[in-house]
Amino acid sequence: MVKLHDMFPSFLAQVAVATALSSLASGLHAQVAPGGPFPSLAAAGLTGGTLPETAGSVLFVDFWASWCAPCKASFPAYSQLQADYSGRGLVIVAVSVDENPAAYAAFVAKLKPTFATLLDAKHTLVQEVQVPTMPTSYLVDRSGKVRFIHAGFHGQQTERELRREIDGLLGERQSAP
């Protein structure tokens, strides 16, 4: 598991300052946690692809980077999840935190994921979510609540956990607004 502070020490210092200032200006900002809402993907200014429709779907959001070996290992598993579950209502969106659009594009071109990949080059969403490590993924239910968080990717163990959680979420009915 690659820690963000190992790869982007100056970026994380900037995030810490920005978070502190933001907290002072608008009250305390909590890290995204199970039971809470997941921030709007549409409002995050993501680039590099088309954001799929997510309303009423179970959403799997994965934060990754081109330099992250576990991220590279996770993409074939996520492509299989896409194949197995998209017809039942799962939407996968992989959000790159790469600062260099060329690194993002080369990674996507090489791995050819079957799910949506987008770039958060300005780190708007990653700062709002306060992603702790690369990769980190969030499973969001049909009503927009975060239900499960996975820090890191641990091969078949993570795949089994995700399948169990996705099956459960897809089996739930969407609650009325």
Domains and CATH numbers, the chain: 2-171 (3.40.30.10)
Asked if pLDDT for residue 177 goes beyond 70, the answer is no
From CA 134, how far away is CA 120, in angstroms rounded? 14
From 10-24, 53-67, 94-108, the region with the lowest mean pLDDT: 10-24
For the chain, percent of residues with pLDDT exceeding 90 = 79
From CA 138, how far away is CA 106, in angstroms rounded? 24
Give the model confidence (pLDDT) of 20-53 as tens digits. Answer: 333 333 333 458 999 999 999 999 999 999 999 9
From CA 139, how far away is CA 165, in angstroms rounded? 8
From 14-28, 84-98, 118-132, 149-163, the region with the lowest mean pLDDT: 14-28
CA distance readout (Å), 120 to 41, 156, 166: 10, 28, 25
The pLDDT score that the predictor gives to residue 20 is 36
Among the listed residues 30, 85, 87, 36, the one whose alpha carbon sits nearest the alpha carbon of residue 60: 85
